[in-house]
Each structure stands twice: as structure tokens, then as C-alpha cells.
């Protein structure tokens, strides 16, 4: 963003600003960087989404290949956005569980859409949802358009307290968990999270894809000391014949790690010695939510009351 303002400055132009960029010769911080440091980069996101124009859910909606088309505009999936008067505001495409609470923290309604099979629903369609604090509208979208629309009264987890969101994804996509005010990304491999104040922190990480072997004693001690623990993969647990993670089957009394594939994501929760896991599709991001009071693991389709 700062390259062209700097070129303009060097070439003698009086204009040392361009969009969000600033000349690097000036002792003035780029506005986006300043907003990013303070966690307030909505101005940039809003500007970026304007490149698509104003998108309204009242326009014709249909499936176009593996994309969602609204009016004349096509969008990669998943997609989610705040909704005001049926219009989409700034758009998000990655790390749904990690970021959704930035939208719903002020009870803002939102729209979400994804390929149904990517969120555990065995239908050849796009599953769409318009969610408010008290209602949820479930959509089924095909190449022919919206073939089903059902609204019901339902308070989803997105507007409840003590819910943690976790997003696991391949390395080229955003991953992390929904702790506020901290660096909440997930390093590659397998991660073990412990409670910290009102959120969680990464306490153990093993990059098993590069040959690291899980320390059974360290994992067992972590699970024993915590009332609740979260397990989350990132990028890939396995990259070759190495299986430095396979002992986790015995620790958690689960066979979920036995058949994991390259870039197949896993999210789990352990509470009072009992474990529960969700496994995604290879190469596809996986989102899940944890009720930290009850220790329940909630898939995306369960969060939308649609499994």
C-alpha cells in the first residue's frame, strides 16, 4: 500500500497519500497498520468490500459452480458478513469460528454461506443462513436459485456467553481461536489449549509434520490440571509416514487420529477426562465452537441448528 505513495513522493509530486498508503519518506504511520495494531481495521475491510459494490440478499441468489452468486457478483465460499436491511456490509471469507464474535458482540445480525457438505450436511447445494439474536433463516441454494427458505425462532451460540470459536485450516488460510486482545493464531501441527482468564492460550504445540513427537506425559499433565482443554490442528498433522501423534488415541480413548489424512483438520475438547472430536474434510477448513461451561463441542451445522 505504501509503494506508490513513496514513488509519487520521490518523483516530486505533492501528493504523498494514495488510498490507505503513505509515503515511506514521511514519519507517518500507514493508517491500515495503525488500525491493525489497535485491532480496528474495519475501515479497510469496509473499503475493500466496496470493491464488490453494494450486495443485497434481495437480489437473485444462486449457485454458480463452487461459488455463490448474488445478482451479478460471484463470491468464494465460505462467506459471511454483517447484515443491515438485507444488505451485506464488509465481507469475510476465512476463519469463521475465530472471527464471527467480532460481528455478533453487539448483537449484529449476519449472513453465512458454504457448500453444505463442507459443514457436515449431506446435500448437493449451498447452505445459507441469516442469523439474528432470536431467529435463524435457513436457505438451500442451487443453480436454480433459493429452493428452500425456513425461518424459526432460535437463539444460536453466536449470541451466547462462554462460547469459544476455533478455526483450523491449511497453511494458506487463516486459523486461530476467538480470544480477544491476544495473538490467537494456531501454529502448524497439533495444539493443546488451556484456560486463561476468560479465554484460552496455547500451552503445547507439536509440529508433527516435521517429525516432532508428542510428549505423552506433558499432554496427560495438561489434561489432568485443566477442567477443560481444547485440541486443534493447523495446516497438517501428517506429511509422511511419521506418526508422532498416534499415542494421542490412547490418551483420549479415541481413534480419531488413526486415519487422519494430509491437511485434514481436527478439533476436540476434553472435560473431566471425557473427550469429543470433530474431523473435517482433507484440504477444507474446519470450524467448531466449544461451550466452555458444559464442555460441549458444537459443529457448524449444530450451531445453525441444521444437522
Please return the burial class of 230, using the count of CB atoms within 10 Å of its CB with bins 0-12, 13-18 and 19+: buried
DSSP state of 92: B
Judgement on whether residues 13 and 136 belong to the same structural domain of the protein: no
Q: What is the pLDDT of residues 200-252, one digit of tens each?
A: 999 999 999 988 999 999 999 999 999 999 999 999 999 887 788 989 999 99
Judgement on whether residues 64 and 30 belong to the same structural domain of the protein: no
pTM for this model (two decimals): 0.82
Judgement on whether residues 278 and 179 belong to the same structural domain of the protein: yes
Last residue of a domain, one of 157, 176, 210: 157
Domain for residue 98, yes or no?
A: yes
More confident residue, 269 or 14: 269
Judgement on whether residues 116 and 146 belong to the same structural domain of the protein: yes
Q: Find the farthest-apart pair of alpha carbons in the chain and give their distance in angstroms, rounded.
A: 68
Would you say 211 and 244 are in contact if contact means Cβ atoms under 8 Å apart? Answer: yes
Judgement on whether residues 125 and 211 belong to the same structural domain of the protein: no
Number of domains, the chain: 3
139: how many CB neighbours lie within 10 A of its CB?
21
Last residue of a domain, one of 115, 137, 157: 157
DSSP state of 307: -
Last residue of a domain, one of 157, 174, 193: 157
Judgement on whether residues 145 and 171 belong to the same structural domain of the protein: no
Q: What is the pLDDT of residues 123-145, one digit of tens each?
A: 999 999 999 999 999 999 999 99
CA–CA distance from 272 to each of 3, 27, 165 (Å)? 54, 54, 20
Residue 274 sits in which domain range? 162-303
* Cell numbers describing residue 31: 493508517
Domain for residue 95, yes or no?
A: yes
Domain for residue 47, yes or no?
A: no
Judgement on whether residues 91 and 202 belong to the same structural domain of the protein: no
Mean pLDDT over the full length of the chain: 89
Judgement on whether residues 262 and 232 belong to the same structural domain of the protein: yes
Judgement on whether residues 176 and 211 belong to the same structural domain of the protein: yes
Burial 5-41 (b: 16+ CB within 10 A, else e): bbebbeeeeeebebebbbbbeeeeebbbeebeeeeeb
Question: What CA–CA distance (Å, rounded) separates 208 from 17?
Answer: 46
Judgement on whether residues 282 and 178 belong to the same structural domain of the protein: yes
Judgement on whether residues 179 and 153 belong to the same structural domain of the protein: no
Q: What is the pLDDT of residues 141-181, one digit of tens each?
A: 999 999 999 999 999 999 998 999 999 999 889 999 997 65
Judgement on whether residues 171 and 120 belong to the same structural domain of the protein: no
Amino acid at each position: 500500500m505504501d509503494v506508490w505513495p513513496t514513488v509519487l513522493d520521490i518523483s516530486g509530486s505533492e501528493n504523498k497519500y494514495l488510498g490507505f498508503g503513505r509515503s515511506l519518506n514521511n514519519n507517518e504511520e500507514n493508517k491500515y497498520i495503525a488500525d491493525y495494531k489497535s485491532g480496528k481495521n474495519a475501515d479497510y475491510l469496509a473499503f475493500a468490500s466496496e470493491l464488490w459494490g453494494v450486495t443485497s440478499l434481495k437480489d437473485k441468489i444462486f449457485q454458480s459452480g463452487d461459488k455463490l452468486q448474488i445478482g451479478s457478483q460471484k463470491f468464494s465460499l465460505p462467506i459471511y458478513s454483517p447484515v443491515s436491511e438485507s444488505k451485506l456490509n464488509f465481507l469475510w471469507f476465512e476463519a469463521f469460528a475465530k472471527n464471527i464474535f467480532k460481528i455478533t458482540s453487539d448483537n449484529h445480525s449476519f449472513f453465512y454461506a458454504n457448500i453444505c457438505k463442507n459443514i457436515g450436511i449431506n446435500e448437493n447445494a449451498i447452505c445459507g443462513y441469516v442469523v439474528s439474536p432470536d431467529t435463524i433463516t435457513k436457505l438451500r441454494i442451487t443453480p436454480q436459485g433459493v429452493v428452500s427458505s425456513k425461518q424459526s425462532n432460535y437463539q444460536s451460540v453466536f449470541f451466547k456467553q462462554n462460547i469459544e470459536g476455533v478455526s483450523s485450516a491449511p497453511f494458506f488460510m487463516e486459523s486461530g481461536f476467538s480470544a480477544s486482545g491476544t495473538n490467537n493464531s494456531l501454529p502448524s501441527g497439533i495444539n493443546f489449549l488451556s484456560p486463561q482468564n476468560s479465554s484460552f492460550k496455547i500451552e503445547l504445540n507439536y509440529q508433527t509434520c516435521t517429525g516432532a513427537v508428542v510428549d505423552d506425559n506433558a499432554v496427560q499433565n495438561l489434561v489432568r490440571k485443566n477442567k477443560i482443554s481444547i485440541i486443534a490442528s493447523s495446516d497438517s498433522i501428517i506429511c509422511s509416514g511419521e506418526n508422532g501423534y498416534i499415542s494421542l488415541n490412547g490418551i483420549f480413548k479415541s481413534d480419531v487420529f488413526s486415519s487422519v489424512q494430509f491437511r485434514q483438520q481436527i478439533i476436540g475438547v476434553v472435560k473431566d477426562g471425557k473427550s469429543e472430536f470433530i474431523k473435517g474434510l482433507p484440504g477444507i477448513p474446519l470450524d467448531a465452537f466449544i461451550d466452555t461451561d458444559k464442555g460441549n463441542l458444537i459443529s457448524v451445522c449444530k450451531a445453525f441448528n441444521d444437522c
